[in-house]
Amino acid sequence: MPKAKIYVTFKDGVLEPQGKTVKAALEKMGYKNVKDVRIGKFIEMEISDGDKEKIKKEIDEICDKLLANPNIEKYTFKIE
Amino acid sequence: MNKKIKFGVIVFPGSNCDADCLWAIKDVLHQDAEFIWHESKNIENYDVIVLPGGFSYGDYLRSGAIARFAKVMEKINDFVNKKNKFVIGICNGFQILLEAGILPGAMLHNKNLKFICEYVNLVVENNDTPFTNKCEKGQVLKIPIAHGEGNYYCDDKTLNKLIKNDEIAFRYSTLKGEITEEANVNGSVYNIAGILNRKKNVLGMMPHPERAMIEELGSTDGKYIWESLINFIKKS
């Protein structure tokens, strides 16, 4: 059964407090090479077999309607 | 008009300020109020719809993201477009209005990542609205907040539109009404605590006016908002 792997992340201009906090922690732990951290969501979805283009269109719709909030988030996905 | 105003308080799975709203409206303000289950589609007979605070659907995915697809929400747009109909979304209710696109913007985690439960000061930015007509412009209200995701975000274009159209109702301020970074408890853009739609019949706010209704609770400033609304409806 194919799986959709969906990544929902904050848009570039949006300040993301979780990532900032994790970055500060990593800095304190001595990881000086970490320049920025952004935390997002990973969603894995099992989908029924079928026309790949149709499935892609449907996942776009699912992301636009529910999984991502276009005011603050963007998304990418792949089907495996 | 001496008829009582009819409030409907929507109950989602996970709402937890619904009973407080009902109490504030019935026991303190002496108006009619009843609960509306989220699967109901009959909201047209109410004057005011209240979207209460809480954690609808466990705040899963994003606060309000799932509640906005509840059956009752399908009717909200029609309701808002009618004359003399009002919607107030408090805390989670505000988040639901944002997710539904009835108000612009979105909520992020508080800047300090903490759930903040405390009294805050709000300055009344616009007192020429159905929800604030009993306030003075610049008046400071003491009303509590209780949220983890109340860090209001919108892009510059939206913010300029909110300012230009007088759609900002309340901003986090000091006791004297000064807008400072320190007073901005959750990190909201422009210290925004509450906004209105263009038509001014929808208000979304993070602070809880239903929790500031009697002296014993530490403040009665929440009454300004409900009484403004009652005043406005009775006059219209």
In the predicted model, is pLDDT for residue B122 greater than 80?
A: yes
Q: Which residues contact A55 (CB under 8 A, 6 or more apart)?
A: A2, A4, A47, A79
* pLDDT value, residue B130: 98
Report ipTM for this prediction.
0.86
Q: Kindly list the residues of chain B whose beta carbon comes within 8 Å of any beta carbon in chain A.
A: 61-62, 65-66, 69, 98-99, 104-106, 108-113, 151, 153-155, 187
User: What residues of B are annotated to the active site?
Assistant: 91, 208, 210
* pLDDT value, residue A63: 97
Ranges of chain A whose pLDDT falls below 70: none
Distance CA B49, CA B47 (A): 7
CB contact under 8 A, A66 and B65: yes
- Give me the residue from B61, B110, B154 closest to A71, CB to CB: B154
* pLDDT value, residue B182: 97
In the predicted model, is pLDDT for residue B26 greater than 90?
A: yes
Model confidence, pTM: 0.94
Write down the domain spans for chain B. 6-235
Taking residues B177-196, report their average pLDDT.
98
Q: What confidence category does residue B199 fall into, taking pLDDT thresholds of 50, 70 and 90? A: very high
With H, G, I as helix, E, B as strand and everything else as coil, classify residue B15: strand
Quick one: closest CA in A to B106, which residue?
A: A71
Class of domain B6-235: alpha beta
**Residue range B67-84, pLDDT digits in tens:** 999 999 999 999 999 999
In the predicted model, is pLDDT for residue B230 greater than 70?
A: yes
CA nearest B145: which of B51, B197, B196, B212? Answer: B212
